[in-house]
């Protein structure tokens, strides 16, 4: 029998960026918040031996333990979904700070176009374009200008270093920190892009470009360009990470109680409103009920969807009829890449998560799509994260993947290859969605989330177009040979692509086409707020977390209002 | 391994923080202090002993803790050496300790898939659904290595380890191309595991028993674990830096 605990004002499910921001902002306002995190407590002090590629980057030390929980996957509905038995395509977070501990820190704002994508696309290209491409896009129920102040807040909290970008939406303030250093590698990209008439800018970075103190009083040291950033925690506290930037403040308010090893299995509700959550202490196996006035779900895209479906909250999406919402519009990221081979040697092993140069000339609607068979595009970047030897084994096309020649070439080119990648936008279609798996269960006996996802014609066209543009830049950079990664025949769950999963609990202006309003408040249960990239109706041509952070700040404002007056906020 | 500790390159965290003026000059994140307090793992005074101990540790970890059968181990050794052979640039997988790296990995969490979803039911799955064998990795290695042996016997009437290099390559290629039938795992899945584990052993920190003498890193010009590149990141020259391992 589950033990019922004393009621709290707010219970938060999952403590990464989303949960940490909510804890900090509500705690500041005097609301009593209980933060439930399924993983363990961790922080900068735990990264004493973190420069270990095998342990952190290959064996995924900081990521989700799939023996307890995973998801199942198939490309299309007529296939049998099978469990994702090992991490691969995306690396789910677990433990205090979530994926915000081991992210790179590329911190973009989406384009004004993204928020009004349907209206803008129809206005410019007519209604047929969207229909012909079979896209389920919709406006977000919020404009860029309305979200701008929250982007500004998140950037200050995360100490983002950056510079103006020709295509950006209006900014109320400059970046709080200066841009990352320019290196011979990023400089090469900048020069080539400029010579081609493009508009390169320094990638907005959550690696501190200078020692920084955020509005919560969190002190972050300057980035050391150590080359062990993505997939690693930062031993210097130089990367904006929830355990550094927001959670200490949340705790200092005295109003945020963190309970780690607490896995939420259900959101309890009476059909109209939530009454609390059920969770299991994964160490003692005890079950608890935590009653609350307000439930905030910040457990990342996968569990935001799964918990709602399992708790029978909101209307599940049905791909056959197109009705229902939860699970709808699952999107990902389209990731073309090119590798250039050079004779000259570079310090490729030095770098930082967000050390990079980007162009937005082929992103959003920054270029004309009249004669193109896709919409949107992607940001193209050279990202000097620091190459590491297990993961980096580039060889020219036609070289075997093992043996003498492979050894010779892969060691030679380790410091003589540069690559470019596009963060390509991903558009929703009717057949890409999430629901509950009928067969496979987690460690608690609950059904796993089932993902049905494949690339579409839109994706392939966007892929080959941006691929070609990157090839041009790489040639201009002087590569003697350019290798272009081909698009996989179908989406493949194995090779790492990105942890930029989105959708399923999408936002919008009205309940018929969305699950949450622009405060991330559920239409079907006004005291439930579901925050994260799960609310993106499509995924843009950038990394998601800047927008997740902005939406979390807006939600925090809404929750505070709601705690006083109740009712729907929008 | 006759490297003498070099103060500028084999800096402990404590020295780094002190020497760089990093603590004195800038803001200190909580973790820096935490790092200092926790530095007894690698204290200044212990640096020298740690260094010598390390060498000893490295040789003592060159013994199997998973494999029990010399013939099976010989197959592994021969196979990894074909995947990453000794050449003019430097040692191959065997001299780098890769067979022991793999052995140790198979004995632990990796070999037993402890952090992976291993509940049934099991189905083969499409080419896009990833690892679907019911075998744990150590079992997949057992099956795969036995398969290399029996395939060699069948084709050349010899043990795998006794074949000519080109013949061994032929055998490995057949596995890579999924042409050999194994129990409960495809030969290509096994081959991919073997290839990946070999490269891991070549390039992982020497603490895991491979990458002996950091020679894997040296062949790539990779300096391993360095505290900071802040003062070198914008340098136009290629930086040849003596590598550091985690326990250096
Ligand atoms: C390797 C990597 C690199 C990345 N790089 C970038 C980048 O450069 N730029 C960018 O914008 N984004 C990047 N991302 C994505 C970014 O990390 C995420 O967008 C962001 O961290 C999401 O924050 P979140 O709070 O929504 O979710 P998470 O950080 O995933 O936090 C969710 C938390 O909820 C917990 N949880 C889940 N289920 C339960 C449950 N049932 N009960 C209790 N707790 C639960 C989890 O353990 C986790 O701690 C990267 C991700 C990865 C993995
Ligand atoms: S690159 Fe910078 S921010 Fe990233 S882990 Fe290293 S020091 Fe920290």
Task: State the pTM of this model.
Answer: 0.94
User: What would the pLDDT profile of B190-219 be if each residue is shown by its tens digit?
Assistant: 999 999 999 999 999 999 999 999 999 999
Residues of B in contact with A58 (CB under 8 A): 200, 204
Q: Residue A54's closest CA among B140, B65, B206, B151?
A: B206
Cα angle A351, A465, A534; round to 5: 65
Minimum CA distance residue for ligand 2 atom 1:
A352
Which two tokens mark B82? 């074909």
Closest CA to A383 of A358, A409, A360, A366: A358
- Return d(Cα A428, Cα B2) in angstroms, integer: 59
Ligand nearest to the CA of A307: 1
The label of the residue with tokens 């990023």 reads A186
How far apart are alpha carbons B224 and B246 in whole angstroms?
8
Beta bridge partners of A244: none
Distances (CA, A) of A523 to A430, A530, A534, B2, B44: 22, 11, 15, 69, 60
Tokens encoding A499: 């942890």
Residue B1 clears pLDDT 80, i.e. is over it: no
Identify the residue whose tokens are 């942890």.
A499
Residue A113, ligand 2, Cβ within 6 A: no
Distance B243 CA to ligand 2 centre (A): 19
- Verify whether ligand 1 is closer than 6 Å to residue A451 (CB atom): no
Q: Tokens 């496979």 map to which residue?
A: A440
* Domain extent listing, chain A: 3-127+134-181+204-331+439-464+489-565
Long-range contacts formed by B145-152: CB under 8 A, 24+ apart? B145/B72, B145/B75, B145/B76, B145/B79, B146/B72, B147/B175, B147/B180, B147/B182, B147/B187, B147/B190, B148/B75, B148/B79, B148/B172, B148/B175, B149/B71, B149/B72, B149/B75, B151/B175, B151/B180
- pLDDT at residue A272 greater than cutoff 50: yes
Residue B90 scores a pLDDT above 60: yes
Q: Which of A275-279, B43-47, B54-58, B107-111 has the lowest mean pLDDT?
A: B43-47
Q: Cα separations (Å) of B149 from A413, B78, B198, B228, B244? A: 34, 11, 18, 47, 38
Domains of chain B, by residue range, sit at 12-63, 70-116+131-218
Q: pLDDT of A219-243, one tens digit each?
A: 999 999 999 999 999 999 999 999 9
Mean pLDDT over A476-492 rounds to 95
Check: complex ipTM more than 0.90: yes
pLDDT exceeds 60 at position B29: no
B50 pLDDT above the threshold of 90:
no
Say whether residue A401 is in contact with chain B using an 8 A CB cutoff.
Answer: yes
Q: How confident is the model at residue B44 (pLDDT cuts 50, 70, 90)?
A: very low
Query: Model confidence over A119-153: pLDDT tens digits?
Result: 999 999 999 999 999 999 999 999 999 999 999 99
Average pLDDT over residues A97-121: 98
A-B CB pairs within 8 A amount to 221
Q: What is the mean pLDDT of residues B97-101?
A: 98
pLDDT bucket at B6, cuts 50 / 70 / 90: very low
**Quick check: B115 contacting A, CB < 8 Å?**
yes
For residue A315, is pLDDT > 60? yes
pLDDT digits (tens, 9 = 90+) for A28-81: 999 999 999 999 999 999 999 999 999 999 999 999 999 999 999 999 999 999
8 Å CB contact of B31 and A235:
yes
DSSP 8-class letter at A486: P
Q: What average pLDDT does chain A have?
A: 98
Average pLDDT, chain B: 83
Coil/strand/helix, residue A504: strand
pLDDT at A306 over 50: yes
Ligand 2 atom 4, closest CA: A229
Whether residues B227 and A439 touch (CB distance < 8 A) is answered with no
> In Å, what is the CA distance from A262 to each residue of A32, A169, A438, A480?
18, 40, 25, 54
Distance (Å) from the C-alpha of residue A12 to the closest C-alpha of chain B?
25
The stretches of B20-94 forming alpha helices (DSSP H) are 22-25, 30-37, 47-60, 70-83
Contacts of B240 in chain A (CB under 8 A): none
Half-sphere exposure of B9 (CA within 13 A, CB side): 13
Dist CA A45 CA A41 (whole Å) = 11
- The DSSP code sequence of A260-286 is -SEEEEEEEE-SSSEEEEEEEETTT--
Q: What is the pLDDT of residue B3?
A: 34
Q: Find chain A residues with C-beta within 8 A of B221's C-beta.
A: 345, 349, 414-415
Percentages helix, strand, coil for chain A, rounded to the nearest 5? 25, 25, 50
Phi and psi dihedrals of B41, rounded to 5?
Answer: -60, -30
Q: What is the pLDDT of residue B39?
A: 34
- Would you say A532 and A300 are in contact if contact means Cβ atoms under 8 Å apart? yes
Q: What percent of chain A has pLDDT over 90?
A: 99
Q: Of chain A residues 331-350, which have a CB less than 8 A from chain B? A: 345-347, 349-350
Cis peptide before B95 (omega within 30 of 0): no
Res. A247: pLDDT tops 80: yes
pLDDT greater than 60 at residue B7:
no
Determine, for residues A244 and B31 on separate chains, whether the beta-carbon distance falls below 8 Å.
yes
Q: What is the 3-state secondary structure (H, E, C) of A61-102?
A: CCECCCCCCCEEEECCCCCCCEECCCCCCCCCECCCCHHHHC
Interface test with A, best of B89, B128, B245 (most A CBs within 10 A): B128
Residue of A102, A376, A500, A538 marked catalytic: A500
**Class for domain A3-127+134-181+204-331+439-464+489-565, per CATH?**
alpha beta
Amino acid A1: pLDDT: 85
pLDDT of residue B248: 61
Beta strand residue intervals within A246-342, DSSP E: 256-259, 262-269, 274-281, 287-297, 328-331, 337-341
In short, whether A543's Cβ falls inside 6 Å of ligand 1 is: yes
Find the closest chain B residue to A51 by CA distance: B225
- The enclosing H or E element of A549 equals helix A545-565
**Of B217, B223, B215, B211, whose CA–CA distance to B62 is shortest?**
B211
A41 touches B: beta carbon within 8 Å: no
A417-424, strands of its sheet edge to edge: A201-202, A356-359, A378-383, A417-424, A337-341, A481-484
A500 is catalytic: yes
Calculate mean pLDDT across residues A337-354.
Answer: 98
From the CA of B158, how many Å to the nearest CA of chain A?
A: 22
Q: Which of B220, B224, B225 to mutate to test the interface with A (most CBs of A within 10 A)?
A: B220
Question: What does the pLDDT look like over A409-439, one tens digit per residue?
Answer: 999 999 999 999 999 999 999 999 999 999 9
Task: Dump pLDDT digits (tens) for A357-415.
Answer: 999 999 999 999 999 999 999 999 999 999 999 999 999 999 999 999 999 999 999 99
């Amino acid at each position: 029998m589950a033990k019922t605990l004393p009621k709290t004002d707010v219970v938060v499910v999952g403590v990464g960026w989303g949960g940490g921001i909510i804890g900090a902002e509500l705690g500041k306002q005097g609301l009593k918040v209980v933060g439930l995190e399924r993983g363990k407590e961790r922080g900068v002090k735990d990264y004493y031996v973190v420069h270990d590629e095998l342990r952190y980057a290959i064996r995924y030390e900081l990521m989700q333990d799939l023996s307890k929980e995973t998801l199942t996957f198939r490309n299309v509905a007529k296939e049998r979904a099978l469990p994702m038995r090992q991490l691969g395509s995306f690396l789910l977070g677990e433990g205090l700070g979530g994926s915000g501990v081991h992210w790179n820190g590329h911190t973009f704002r989406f384009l004004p176009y993204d928020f009004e994508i349907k209206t803008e696309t129809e206005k410019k290209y007519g209604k047929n374009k969207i229909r012909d491409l079979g896209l389920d896009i919709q406006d977000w129920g919020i404009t860029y200008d309305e979200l701008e102040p929250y982007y500004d807040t998140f950037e200050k909290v995360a100490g983002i270093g950056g510079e103006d970008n020709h295509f950006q939406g209006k900014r109320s303030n400059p970046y709080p920190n200066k841009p990352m250093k320019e290196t011979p590698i990023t400089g090469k990209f900048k020069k080539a892009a400029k010579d081609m008439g493009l508009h390169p800018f320094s990638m907005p970075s959550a690696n501190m470009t200078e020692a920084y103190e955020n509005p919560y009083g969190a002190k972050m040291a300057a980035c050391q360009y150590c080359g062990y950033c993505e997939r690693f925690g930062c031993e210097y506290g130089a990367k904006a990470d929830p355990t550094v930037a927001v959670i200490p403040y949340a705790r200092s308010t005295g109003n945020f109680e963190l309970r780690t090893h607490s896995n939420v299995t259900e959101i309890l509700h009476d059909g109209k409103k939530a009454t609390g959550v059920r969770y299991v202490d994964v160490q003692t196996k005890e079950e608890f009920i935590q009653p609350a006035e307000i439930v905030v779900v910040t457990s990342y895209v996968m569990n935001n969807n799964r918990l709602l479906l399992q708790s029978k909250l909101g209307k599940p999406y049905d791909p056959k009829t197109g009705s229902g919402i939860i699970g709808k519009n699952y999107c990902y990221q389209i990731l073309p890449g090119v590798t250039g081979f050079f004779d000259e040697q570079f310090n490729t092993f030095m770098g930082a998560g967000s050390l990079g140069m980007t162009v937005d000339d082929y992103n959003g609607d920054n270029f004309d799509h009249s004669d193109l068979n896709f919409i949107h595009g992607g940001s193209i970047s050279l990202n000097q994260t620091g190459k590491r030897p297990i993961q980096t084994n580039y060889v020219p096309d036609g070289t075997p993947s093992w043996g003498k020649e492979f050894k010779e070439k892969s060691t030679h080119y380790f410091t003589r290859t540069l690559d470019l990648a596009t963060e390509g936008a991903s558009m929703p279609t009717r057949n890409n969605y999430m629901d509950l798996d009928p067969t496979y269960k987690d460690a608690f006996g609950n059904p796993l989330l089932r993902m049905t996802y494949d690339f579409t014609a839109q994706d392939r066209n966007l892929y080959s177009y941006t691929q070609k543009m990157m090839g041009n830049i790489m040639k201009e950079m002087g590569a003697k040979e350019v290798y272009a990664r081909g698009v996989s025949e179908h989406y493949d769950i194995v090779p790492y692509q990105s942890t930029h999963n989105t959708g399923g609990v999408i936002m919008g202006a009205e309940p018929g086409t969305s699950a949450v309003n622009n405060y991330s408040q559920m239409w079907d249960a006004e005291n439930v707020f579901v925050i994260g990239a799960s609310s993106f109706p499509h995924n843009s041509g950038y990394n998601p977390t800047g927008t997740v952070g902005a939406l979390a700040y807006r939600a925090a404002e809404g929750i505070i209002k709601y705690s006083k007056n109740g009712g729907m906020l929008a | 391994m006759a490297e003498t500790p070099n103060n500028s390159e084999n800096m402990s965290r404590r020295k780094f923080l002190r020497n760089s003026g990093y603590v004195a000059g800038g803001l200190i994140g909580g973790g820096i202090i935490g790092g200092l307090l926790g530095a007894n793992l690698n204290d200044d005074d212990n640096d020298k002993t740690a260094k010598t101990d390390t060498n000893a540790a490295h040789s003592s970890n060159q013994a199997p803790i998973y494999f029990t059968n010399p013939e099976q181990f010989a197959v592994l050794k021969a196979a990894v050496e074909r995947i990453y052979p000794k050449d003019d640039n430097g040692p191959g997988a065997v001299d780098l300790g890769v067979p022991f790296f793999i052995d140790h990995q198979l004995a632990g969490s990796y070999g037993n898939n402890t952090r992976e979803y291993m509940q049934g039911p099991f189905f083969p799955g499409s080419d896009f659904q990833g690892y679907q064998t019911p075998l744990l990795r150590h079992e997949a290695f057992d099956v795969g290595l036995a398969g290399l042996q029996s395939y060699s016997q069948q084709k050349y009437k010899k043990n795998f380890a006794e074949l000519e290099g080109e013949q061994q390559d032929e055998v490995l290629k057949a596995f890579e191309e999924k042409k050999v039938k194994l129990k409960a795992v495809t030969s290509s899945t096994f081959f991919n595991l073997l290839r990946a584990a070999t490269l891991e052993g070549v390039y992982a920190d020497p603490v895991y028993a491979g990458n002996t003498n950091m020679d894997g890193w040296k062949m790539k010009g990779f300096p391993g674990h360095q505290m900071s590149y802040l003062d070198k990141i914008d340098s136009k020259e290629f930086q040849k830096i003596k590598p550091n391992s985690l326990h250096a």
